[in-house]
Amino acid sequence: MSGHFETIPGGGAAVALDEIEISIIRSLAVQLLELIGPGPAEGESEDPLAELFAEGPSEPPSDPVLKRLFPDAYGGPDGPPDTAKEAEEQRSSSAEFRRFTENDLRSRKRDDAVAVVRSLDALSPVGEEGAVLRLGPEESRQWLGALNDLRLAIGARLEVRDEDEADDLYRLPDSDSRKPMVMAYLWLGSLQETLVGTLSP
């Protein structure tokens, strides 16, 4: 089980993690929470209908990681638009879509990252042997979402745009300053892949 998720009876998944691995994942999840930002302030209306219609930002974020986590919804699949009018229509459609969806998306990503931190904090005391993390089906889905977001964030910092570029990361020399980030990116990808396997029917 060490290093990868396995299916457990009754649904869900389990993985053995050592103390360093737990610390790395927890630290990355906390950094992700800081990047995404806080949820609704205390004292604000808890009216679900009001929250449903609350408007979010209409402009894309400037940080490249947040751009990757919250991309524009509309864009030409075959490259940039042909005319200024098409570009303006895409920008307008993306802004409108973002205004009504980004708050919800941020909330979901925040909930996933919080679930990761809480499940790691709930582990039994960790010794040299490490600990076994056991997740129910819903926790597994939250972990999958958080692992995906963490890989997107690290990939943005590494300027990885597709899997071919990700393959090039394997060939980086140990002296490259990006190597620790690359190792985390590849390791999280392995965790993500094995977790997906536990959720498949």
- CA neighbor of 4 nearest in space, from 196, 190, 198, 200: 190
Is the pTM value of this prediction over 0.85? no
The Cα-based distances of 166 to 97, 107, 153, 156 in angstroms read 30, 28, 14, 11
How much is the mean pLDDT over the chain? 81
What pLDDT is attached to residue 85? 72
Q: 162 φ, ψ to 5°?
A: -155, 175
Taking residue 85's Cβ as centre, other Cβ atoms within 10 Å add up to 9
The answer to whether the beta carbons of residues 145 and 108 sit under 8 Å apart is: yes
Of the two residues 195 and 160, the one the predictor is more confident about is 195
Q: Measured between alpha carbons, how far is 49 from 60 in angstroms, rounded to an integer?
A: 25
Q: Measured between alpha carbons, how far is 185 from 167 in angstroms, rounded to an integer?
A: 11
Residue 43 predicted with pLDDT over 50: no
What pLDDT is attached to residue 178? 85
- CA neighbor of 99 nearest in space, from 49, 70, 56: 56
The answer to whether the beta carbons of residues 84 and 124 sit under 8 Å apart is: no
Asked which of 25-29, 39-43, 82-86, 143-147 is least confident by mean pLDDT, the reply is 39-43
Start-to-end CA span in the chain (Å): 20
Report which residue type is found at 59. Answer: E
Average pLDDT over residues 141-163: 91
Tell me if residue 2 falls in helix, strand or coil: strand
